[in-house]
Chain A
Amino acid sequence: SAVISQKPSRDICQRGTSLTIQCQVDSQVTMMFWYRQQPGQSLTLIATANQGSEATYESGFVIDKFPISRPNLTFSTLTVSNMSPEDSSIYLCSVDTSNTGELFFGEGSRLTVL
């Protein structure tokens, strides 16, 4: 397993601004993922962030809107850029400690855009 800490846990932002979410893991992991969970919905993969390479984005998500950094094996950030109310969601960081698909999740960052 892994202990995953996300910051901020929640925030209220103004339209047009950007917010960076931090994800810290208590152990070194190769595979890290960012998910979005819109209100009352399931989890949708935004991108895979592996250390030492560019993040890989899923269909419907682009780097200009959701830039990701992965400077080392225990840390990653996701930025939500030029926010609109439609970006109001929970953003979740997850890690695969054994490269087998067994993902552990942080508590999420609940973002409200006004």
Chain B
Amino acid sequence: GENVEQHPSTLSVQEGDSAVIKCTYSDSASNYFPWYKQELGKGPQLIIDIRSNVGEKKDQRIAVTLNKTAKHFSLHITETQPEDSAVYFCAAFGNEKLTFGTGTRLTIIP
């Protein structure tokens, strides 16, 4: 089955700086890669995604890149704000299943 690894497990950045979270996947058949943000006591919220026919996608301060050859994808958050503090999960979709990474706890330091 699919295996998704995510790094780092925790990340602290100064407000206004950038944050980068990286994931690798194992199944070359996976073709959809979403990122979720989970705030305390809430369910995961889809914030951005990318499909395997695209190398990069951007939505305001958030961007995702995908390297199919290397089987890795990354989340980039620029100009970080306190409300960006949360746990972020990457995921890979293949064989009709979504497999999640282990999560990154992002803390924005005011």
Tell me, yes or no, whether A binds B.
yes
Binding site for B on A (CB under 8 A): 4, 31, 33, 41-45, 48, 92, 100-108, 110
Q: Is the CB of B49 within 8 A of A42?
A: no
What are the nearest 3 A-B pairs in CB distance?
A: A101-B93, A105-B43, A101-B32
B47 within 8 A of A: no
B20 CB to closest chain A CB, in angstroms?
19
Q: Is the CB of B103 within 8 A of A42?
A: yes
- Tell me whether chain A's interface is mostly helix, strand or loop, or mixed: strand
B98 within 8 A of A: yes
Given A42-B100, A45-B98, verify A102-B42 contact (CB < 8 Å).
no
Q: Is the CB of A102 within 8 A of B89?
A: no
Q: Which of A4, A41, A107 contacts B42 (CB 8 A)?
A: A107
| B34, B42, B43, B100: residue with the most chain A Cβ atoms closer than 10 Å | B43
The chain B residue with its CB closest to the CB of A103 is B98
Q: Is the CB of A42 within 8 A of B102?
A: yes
Residues in B neighbouring A103, C-beta threshold 8 A: 34, 46, 98
B96 within 8 A of A: yes
